[in-house]
Amino acid sequence: MSVHETTAPACFGRGGGEPYDRALHTGGPLLLHEDATAGGEPGEARSVDVRRFLSRADRVERSLLASTQGSVLDVGCGPGRMVAEAHRRGRAALGVDVSPASVRVAEARGLSVHHGSVFGPVPSAGAWDVVLLLDGNVGIGGDPTQLLRRCRQIASPTGVLVVETSPQRHRYHRFTARVTSPSGHGSDAFPWAEVGADPLLEPAKDAGWSASREVRRRRRTFVVLAGRAP
């Protein structure tokens, strides 16, 4: 099932040579880097693990999901591996993604996805027990506080938010990014952010979340946030 709406501009990997959509057909590789044309320094490119997006949820992700209860909304779901894992566990789940190619792959797998931005209308907003921001998706929109606030709106009053943070614990960097492929295909520029576990806490608090616990597995760090009473 999918609900289609107009794709928002300036989103991860979109536009230009559509490198992200191409990588979903080939398995990658892709690189994420700061856009020097926007006045930033190119810096070191970070690898985007497209193969992981296309695979089943790994042991770390399965364990993380098993530690939660209830319905699951995966923001920036890609081809839908976490939606598939939730379905395997008999849980209601929906993915949200702006990439048409991601939505097509997820739909072909029989998964429930919503084609659109998390900042637009989201089915069952305010009722999701678990909201996921994995794979660096806390960077969506380039403003972590705004994104965390939006996640608070679409989660249930007692819901939790699971955020995968930067491997660099103290990193907080908002920037204009591009995604490129070794073959020379590049996306349009888009706003992005990278947030470590420590600097996540202040914008989370501002957005109405409180830290519940931290999970570190295989060089990946996840922070589980719980809603605070108003």
pLDDT at 173: 95
pLDDT at 68: 97
Residue with tokens 């996921």: 132
pLDDT at 73: 98
pLDDT at 15: 81
pLDDT at 44: 72
Tokens coding 73: 């909304």
pTM above 0.85, yes or no: yes
pLDDT at 14: 82
Q: Tell me the C-alpha distance between 210 and 55, whole Å.
A: 31
pLDDT at 150: 98
Count of the separate structural domains present in the chain: 1
pLDDT at 119: 96
For residue range 105-148, list pLDDT tens digits in order. 999 999 999 999 999 999 999 999 999 999 999 999 999 999 99
Domain CATH for 195: 3.40.50.150
- Give strand ranges (E) for the chain: 2-4, 30-34, 46-48, 72-75, 93-97, 113-115, 128-133, 155-165, 172-180, 190-195, 209-217, 220-227
Query: Which residue range forms the structural domain that includes residue 24?
Result: 2-227
SS3 38: helix
Tokens coding 90: 């008999």
Whether residue 29 is preceded by a cis peptide bond, meaning omega within 30 degrees of 0, is yes
Parts of the chain with a pLDDT under 50: 1-8
pLDDT at 1: 42
Q: Tell me the C-alpha distance between 15 and 189, whole Å.
A: 8
Q: Tell me the C-alpha distance between 175 and 75, whole Å.
A: 20
pLDDT at 160: 97
